[in-house]
Structure 1
Amino acid sequence: MTRFLTVTLFLLFPITALADPPPTFTSAKVVAKQKVFFDRAQSPDGELYCGCKWEWIGKSGGRINPESCGYETRKQQTRADRIEWEHIVPAWVLGHQRQCWKNGGREKCVADDPLFRAMEADLFNLYPSVGEVNGDRSHYQYGMVKSSASQYGACTTKVDFRGRVTEPRDVVKGLVARATFYMYDRYGLSMSRKQQQLLIAWDRQYPVSAWEKTWQSRTAVVMGHGNPFVTGERSWILGHKPSREGLVTQLVAHDGALLAPQSLAASGDIFGNRNSRVYHLPQGCPGYNQVSTKNRVHFSSEADAQAAGYRKAGNCR
């Protein structure tokens, strides 16, 4: 009888209903430690960029063991000593596609934009890394760095500060590609053709590892959904049309209440094209994802767009 009830309850309340995604970046770091990376500090895979082992300290922090990976400090000793949580798709990139960032930067987005908070706290985009490399990477895109000079001792991740590009070590190139695909797909972000081409190549060259599958499954339990680019349910091709699934699910508001899906359009999801002076809605407008990032103007409502002299795209349904 007990077994029957357990199966019945699972059918009535699937994993998505039982999941408890973290509402903020601060809580996401704690959850990531406790439920995803709890046993990875001494793993041979190590942290993201250099493969260093670490020792957990406090709720979500850690201290790097540089001897475990041959790490040598480039410049910032304090950050070189500690574990930080890297956004594989940087928070700067997430924010710069939101109106709130233009109105006050990251603090404004955290305070006023529930969608930004959801993106910032998405566990599929968080990975422990050496703090110094995390800082050096900044919000640079991933790419190929021509220089072969070592910047961090035996660590093979390279940062081109002048070109604003970071090339991670080979073993995680596929992982960061699939995490990037997930974020851009789920939240309807705009990715350049050049970045797409590079990440598609990395995805093919560096297939999913056993640990990446485990990372995916552990994270899925918490988030209530998986990364389809890791499970193989979805693949990225040039011109990929994002599912935007993260824009139609309930999101946690700043006070802990749930934000209804229909309220999301008021959070800055309307794109105007500064060249054509035409605006596109997130639903019903085929040209929404075709507006290049450099030409995007974000509006909180149609009224704001119209007041700024923009008209709705003629192909919107």
Structure 2
Amino acid sequence: MRHIFLSLLYLICCQTFAAGNTQNESFSKAKRLLLSNVYAGHHKTLYCDAEYRADKQVITPLGFTTTKQVRRAKRIEWEHVVPAENFGRSFAAWREGDSQCITSKGKTYKGRRCAEKVVPEYRLMQADMYNLFPAIGAVNALRSNYTFTLLPHTPVDFGSCAMKIDNRKAEPPESARGRIARTYLYMDATYPRFSMSRKTRQLMEAWDRMYPVAQWECDRASRIKALQGNDNAVMDKACGRWIANTP
């Protein structure tokens, strides 16, 4: 009964505030659809533009290096551009746990595992494919849940891949900044549980202007809409500008 009540409550919330993902609560299913349907014919990672095979094995880019998470550098993972913690902590189950979050040995737990178990709204946000991108596993691991910013005095961490990470901050390569910005703007406009700081909003709005969409980004949004069902007003606007400016 509790799950039914929470699901109904979420549907009311969605109808009142936003039109996000309301169809798929499974993060695993979202990843399968992204691999087999959304990224079919475009096996390129977000941060390093690395190619990968259908079995998720990375074709290591020339000059790519890492001294950490070396094993994870061999496979792609699906990165939450807006980290799950950024919206997950708005749920009490993440912060405090829940009466249902008890292990077989009687120990309580909280965090992502608990929110995923008991909160339908969290599961829908976690599985929103507009917020998921392929990334080399090592880059995903080291980016963690760090805030994006500019790090002009920080050297790159991955050789030929111009991703910088320092002091719990991350600077993505220029090629990824527009996609990152429009993902943050989408999540902020769509889910009341997530809101950007003023500083982050200013940066993302600047990146949105500086790094306009390319055809693939619009194709990706169209494929996700066909599978997930909801519009992405941020991408609709950006792709409309792109079409208008394309000869």
Using the alignment, how far apart are the partners of 1:20 and 1:194 within structure 2? 30
* Residue pair 1:48, 1:172 contacting (<8 A) in 2 also: yes
Q: Output the amino acid matched with 1:36.
A: V
TM-score between both structures, scaled by the size of structure 1: 0.62
- Relative to its length, the structure with more helix (as a share) is 2
Q: Distance in 2 between matches of 1:20 and 1:34?
A: 21
Q: Does 1:39 align with 2:32?
A: no
Aligned-pair Cα RMSD in Å: 1.8
Partner of residue 235 from structure 2, selected from 230, 235, 238: 230
Structure 2 matches for 1:210-229, cutoff 5 A?
A: 210-229=215-234
Query: 1:207/1:233 Cα in 2 relative to 1: closer, same or farther (>3 Å)?
Result: closer
Q: Which has the higher strand share?
A: 1
Q: What is the match of residue 156 of structure 1?
A: 162
Structure 2 residue matching 1:232: 3-state secondary structure: helix
Task: Please give the alpha-carbon distance, in whole angstroms, between the structure 2 residues aligned to 1:169 and 1:211.
Answer: 17
Q: How many residue pairs were aligned?
A: 205
Whether 1:82 aligns to 2:84 is no
**Counterpart residue type for residue 120 of structure 1:** Q
Q: 1:94 matched to which residue of 2?
A: 87
Deviations 1:16-70 (A, max 9, x none): xxx99432111110011121012112xxxx201111111121xxxx11111x353
Q: Is 1:74–1:151's contact at 8 Å kept on the other side of the alignment?
A: no
Q: 1:148 deviation in Å?
A: 4.4
1:178 and 2:176 are equivalent in the alignment: no
> Whose Rg is larger?
1
The 3 A distance-change label for structure 1 pair 21 and 69 is farther
SS at match of 1:166: strand
Counterpart for residue 106 of structure 1: 112
Gaps of 5+ in 1: 1-18, 235-317
* Cα displacement (A) at 1:226: 2.3
> Post-superposition shift, 1:173?
0.5
SS at match of 1:174: helix
Match of 2:30 in 1: 28
In structure 2, runs of 5+ residues without a counterpart are 1-20, 98-109, 240-247
**Residue 80 of structure 1 aligns to which amino acid in structure 2?**
A
Provide the identity percentage: 36
Matched letter for residue 115 of structure 1: E
Distance across 1 between alignment mates of 2:114 and 2:154: 40
* Equivalence for 1:52: 50
